[in-house]
Amino acid sequence: MAHQLTDVSVMGSGVSEPLELRVSPGKIGMWVFLAGEIMIFGGLIGCFVLLRLAHGGWAAEGEHVNWRIGAFNTLVLLTSSMSMALALGEARRNNAGGVKICLAITALLGLAFLGIKGFEYSREIGEGFTPWSGLFWNFYYMLTGLHAMHVAVGVAVNSTFLGLTARRGLVSTSALHLEFAGLYWHFVDLVWIFLFPLVYLSTNVK
Amino acid sequence: MASTNENRHYVQVWVWLVVLLVASTAIVLLPIPPAIGVAIVFGAAVIKALLVAREYMHLRAEYWLVYALALLPTALVLTLGVALLPDIAAHLTSYSVSVYIAAIIPFTAATLAAVALLNRSQAPAE
Amino acid sequence: MAQVAVAHAAEHELGFWRKYVFATDHKVIAKQYLWAALLMALIGGLMAAMFRWQLAWPDASVPGWGPMGPQDYMVMVTMHGTIMVFFVAMPILLGAFGNLVIPLMIGAGDMAFPRLNMASFWVFLVGCVVLLASLVVPGGASPAGWTGYPPLSDKVEFTGSFWGINLWILGLALEFVGFLLGGINFLTTVVTLRTRGMTMWRLPLIVWQEIAAVAIFLLSVGPLVAGAIMLLLDRVAGTAFFLPHRGGDPLLWQHLFWFFGHPEVYVIALPGFGIMQEILPVFARKPTFGYRTIIWCTVVACFLSLIVWAHHMYVSGIDPRLATPFSIATIAISIPFAIMIFAMIATLWRGSISFETPMLFSLGGLVTFLLGGVTGIFLGSDTADIYLHDSYFVVAHFHYTLFPVVFFAGFAGIYYWYPKMFGKLMSETLGRVHFVLTFIFFNAAFIPLFMVGLAGGPRRIYSPMAYDLLKPLQPLHVVATVATIGLVLGQLPFIVNFVMSMLWGEKAAANPWHANTLEWTVDSPPPHGNFAHPPVVTRGPYDYSMPGAKDDWYPQTAPFSGQPQET
């Protein structure tokens, strides 16, 4: 017995348009997800900082990470963030070619980041610094490893969008979906922005 | 939407991010006292993070709920960290020191709120 | 919206698998959660009866099990806690009722992300299977307590359970992922898919409580996920995050656990309150008292719930300077809850109350929760807690807060929405018998435990005869155990009622309780896509017994006809 609402006059204050006209469900959903992610990474980073403060002796272990490689990797990730943002700009200009180029660059830079990180891991393990070599290395491998997993997911998402754009071109929802993918990718970048000084720089400040 | 300008803006932001990266990395090479060096390094990281969040993640002009979703967990993580300081990190700090540390919470919250309000007032009408 | 409804109607003819197993319809997912939760509740309840048997008749043979050693006892206690909190309370209150009522009550065709919703259930179900699988792996399931404190849980040497605890962590992680996905869905749906006229201040209270609950779940679970990652790495990768002799800190886990663990209590309590707040005005035929006050109290309680976690840790060796602020915050959080309780009681004041089964369970929940809330004040104060902590007083308090919101409110919700879920009415007689048995045996089981705790009986002790000072308390344990067994057997009328009504129950009309909210404007059970046309809401949800109105109820969609009321 659904009500027939043909001639209902909606009176009174507070009758508003549905909110979906103002902000898309996908964006709210994405930000709720990111809020959860902030709490996970925030919790891990918080533990790292707290235990770091509790034990002054970590700096010695931290000197063995290579901050030059770290800085270069930061540059790679920052650049990929820019190309992701540019992909959105190109999508809004309805330029499918530009979107494809930008997404390809983003995905390749993401892969480059993972490759460099893998090289770094193998180098460190070669020098005898394994994930169980002490509290600093515990945290180092856990934080960067979890971050690398997020990068891998981001590369997969961006590649999927690249494939979709290549196959069917830009559709009406492309820019919106690209924005959601971008939010995730920028968040991954943002986590690294904090991991870089925490893991690499603060231990190497003379 | 003027997307050419938008793209130029994205590149400008990237230039700033790289400048900050170079600056914070240079600290390692310069003979600067560790306390100041660490402060500069993390200050640069915070600015970089704000730039990415504001420009690339479009927090510059967003619906208020999105702000809440970004700020609430950030404030909460800071609260958690500060609340755990006396237990996990600073067993020996005196009471007055922990009070100062605890004062960081409202200070940080106020700063974040101010940044958010400032952003909103500057937001272009979409 | 209209297109969405049409699209849903078009895919009405789905195969068996898409319709009942890999379903994206929120109503089917709600039922899946309900079935899973009831099954897990049965397992958890039987475990409780088994370890209670050991406490009443130490070292006697437990029927169907044989003599229970200390390891089995610890496993049972751990699994009972884990199952009941994470695999019963959350799926019933959030998974089942949240999924069922949110889209219906806000006038939406489905959740914002139906496929995510399906994923949420299946990830949760895999979590259930993983947790149950931990019972049969070599080394046995986790005996480390439902809080999993390291160092006990950190190394296989300490418990003998390697895969058991690993699977315990994995099962919990999957459960968290499931409810994270569900939570994203709940929040997004309520924010974006409300129908025309459904402002936030016209939402039924249960919708407010559900989104408040998932909001604090989403905000609090992150650090525990972080902790779980570290604990798992400690166990399998040789790290030392929580091992003090290698630089780690076991206290860190307690902080991370309770940073989530305390809000988790409110994740469970708020939807339970929401169910009671939905049912009380319907059966009192009165507008709810203090609608906006209740909502603001919920918001305040949510904020406070995030900064009270260390009151679980007063005896763990935390910094005393930390204990006092947490003590103050804990006492403060009782204020919004007290206001909510008073508002619920005031809703009953001078109503024309009828005692159908849902109302009986709601009132039962209200009364028992009061006792739980009041005893919580003792535990929230750090000085009193140092005496009472880790005694049976805590066990009794905890069950007096969670049993009302999970089982009393949960059963109330099942009896109330059963017609909407399955299209059949349940038997009132069996329902009342079920209520009387549950109410009597629940109180008989836990009041003795308050006494044991006040007399100094510590919890988590395998044999209550271990110390001379505990021996005089033994008769109280016998009373509690007999009542627990009665409580478990007292659920039989419910099981019979649930199954029989589904098969042979009387067909339910669209609105058997004469309630106002939107779910009662559609058929029982509602069709796929819920609403033929998006409803237009003209008023708040609790306009009962309005002066000048023809009936004593006024659906939220009823057009204005010269009536003056506006909430």
A51 touches chain B (CB under 8 A): yes
- Average pLDDT, integer, range C268-273: 96
A42 touches chain B (CB under 8 A): yes
pLDDT in tens, C192-230: 999 988 999 999 999 999 999 999 999 999 999 999 999
Q: How many residue pairs bridge chain A and chain B with CB atoms within 8 Å of each other?
A: 147
Chain B positions in Cβ-Cβ contact with residue C191 (cut-off 8 Å): 65
Cβ–Cβ under 8 Å, residues C258 and A77: no
Of B10, B41, B57, at which residue does a domain stop? B57
List the one residue out of C196, C81, C164 whose CA is nearest residue C460. Answer: C81
B88 pLDDT band (50/70/90 cuts)?
A: confident
What's the start-to-end Cα distance of chain B, in Å? Answer: 10
Nearest to C191 among A15, A28, A40 (CB): A28
In Å, how far are A185, C48, C74 from C471, measured between CA atoms? 62, 22, 21
Chain A positions in Cβ-Cβ contact with residue B44 (cut-off 8 Å): 197
Chain C positions in Cβ-Cβ contact with residue B73 (cut-off 8 Å): 219, 222
CA distance C336 to C341: 9
Given a cut of 50, is residue A13 above it in pLDDT? no
Cβ–Cβ under 8 Å, residues C103 and C530: yes
Nearest to C219 among B72, B84, B88 (CB): B72
Q: Which residue of B has its CA nearest to C304?
A: B76
Look at residue A6 in the predicted model and tell me its pLDDT.
Answer: 28
Given a cut of 90, is residue B87 above it in pLDDT? no
- Average pLDDT, integer, range C543-558: 85
Look at residue C548 in the predicted model and tell me its pLDDT.
Answer: 77
- Residues of chain C with pLDDT > 90: what percent? 79
Look at residue B117 in the predicted model and tell me its pLDDT.
Answer: 59
Look at residue C562 in the predicted model and tell me its pLDDT.
Answer: 46
| Inter-chain CB proximity A16 and C199 less than 8 Å | yes
Look at residue C13 in the predicted model and tell me its pLDDT.
Answer: 66
Look at residue C20 in the predicted model and tell me its pLDDT.
Answer: 81
CA distance A112 to C533: 52
Chain B positions in Cβ-Cβ contact with residue A50 (cut-off 8 Å): 81, 84-85, 88-89
The alpha carbon of residue C188 is apart from the nearest alpha carbon of chain A, in Å, by: 6
pLDDT in tens, C33-77: 999 999 999 999 999 999 999 999 988 899 888 888 899 999 999
Chain B positions in Cβ-Cβ contact with residue C319 (cut-off 8 Å): 86-87, 91
More confident: C347 or C64:
C347
- Three-state DSSP string of C411-443: HHHHHHHHHHHHCECCCHHHHHHHHHHHHHHHH
pLDDT in tens, C140-166: 999 999 999 999 999 999 999 999 999
Look at residue B109 in the predicted model and tell me its pLDDT.
Answer: 61
pLDDT in tens, C308-340: 999 999 998 888 778 888 898 899 999 999 999
Among A127-136, C175-184, C286-295, C359-368, the minimum mean pLDDT is found in A127-136
Same domain, B39 and B66: no
More confident: C244 or B92:
C244
pLDDT in tens, C474-490: 999 999 999 999 999 99
Residue-number span of the structural domain to which B111 is assigned: 62-126
Look at residue C2 in the predicted model and tell me its pLDDT.
Answer: 42
Look at residue C560 in the predicted model and tell me its pLDDT.
Answer: 63
- Average pLDDT, integer, range B45-69: 87
Which CATH architecture is the domain C24-521 placed in? Up-down Bundle (1.20)
Given a cut of 80, is residue C566 above it in pLDDT? no
Q: Give chain B's domain count.
A: 2
A97 pLDDT band (50/70/90 cuts)?
A: very high
Look at residue B33 in the predicted model and tell me its pLDDT.
Answer: 79
Chain B positions in Cβ-Cβ contact with residue A154 (cut-off 8 Å): none
Look at residue C11 in the predicted model and tell me its pLDDT.
Answer: 52
CA atoms within 13 A on the CB side of A5: 19
Look at residue B120 in the predicted model and tell me its pLDDT.
Answer: 54
Given a cut of 60, is residue A4 above it in pLDDT? no
Among A169-183, C298-312, C387-401, C551-565, the minimum mean pLDDT is found in C551-565
Rounded to 5 degrees, φ, ψ at C555 are -55, 150
Look at residue B104 in the predicted model and tell me its pLDDT.
Answer: 55
- Average pLDDT, integer, range A60-77: 89
A22 pLDDT band (50/70/90 cuts)?
A: low
C67 strand-pairing partners:
C61
The b/e string for C281-290 (b: 16+ C-beta within 10 A; e otherwise) is bbbbebbbbb
Q: Which of residues 122-161 of A touch B (CB under 8 A)?
A: none
Cβ–Cβ under 8 Å, residues C111 and C99: yes
Look at residue B3 in the predicted model and tell me its pLDDT.
Answer: 57
Rounded to 5 degrees, φ, ψ at C62 are -80, 130
Nearest to C194 among A10, A12, A18 (CB): A18
Look at residue C561 in the predicted model and tell me its pLDDT.
Answer: 57
Which CATH architecture is the domain A68-201 placed in? Up-down Bundle (1.20)
Same domain, B28 and B5: yes
Look at residue C275 in the predicted model and tell me its pLDDT.
Answer: 97
C194 touches chain A (CB under 8 A): yes
Q: Which residues of chain C have a Cβ shorter than 8 Å from any chain B Cβ? A: 191, 219, 222-223, 249, 251-252, 255, 259, 306-307, 310, 318-319, 321-322
Look at residue C39 in the predicted model and tell me its pLDDT.
Answer: 96
Secondary structure of residue C188 in the 3-state scheme: helix
Same domain, B6 and B48: yes
